[in-house]
Amino acid sequence: RKEVEQDPGPFNVPEGATVAFNCTYSNSASQSFFWYRQDCRKEPKLLMSVYSSGNEDGRFTAQLNRASQYISLLIRDSKLSDSATYLCVVNVSPGKLIFGQGTELSVKP
- Tell me: does residue 1 bind other proteins (CB under 8 A): no
46 binding other proteins? (CB under 8 A)? yes
C-beta separation of 99 from 81 below 8 A? no
Binding other proteins (rule: CB under 8 A), the pick from 42, 58, 81, 109 is: 42
Residues 6+ apart with CB under 8 A from 44: 36, 37, 38, 87, 99
Whole-angstrom Cα distance, residue 100 to residue 95?
Answer: 16
Q: Find the binder of other proteins among 22, 27, 55, 91 (CB under 8 A).
A: 91
Q: Least distance (Å) from other proteins to the CB of residue 58?
A: 18
The answer to whether 72 contacts other proteins (rule: CB under 8 A) is: no
Interface with other proteins: number of residues (CB under 8 A)? 22
Q: Are 86 and 108 in contact (CB under 8 A)?
A: no
Q: What is the distance between the alpha carbons of residues 71 and 100, in angstroms, rounded to a whole number? A: 11
CB of 16 to other proteins, least distance (A): 29
**Three-class SS state of 80:** helix
Q: Is 99 in the site for other proteins (CB under 8 A)?
A: yes
Contact set with other proteins (CB under 8 A): 31-32, 34, 41-46, 49, 87, 91, 93-102
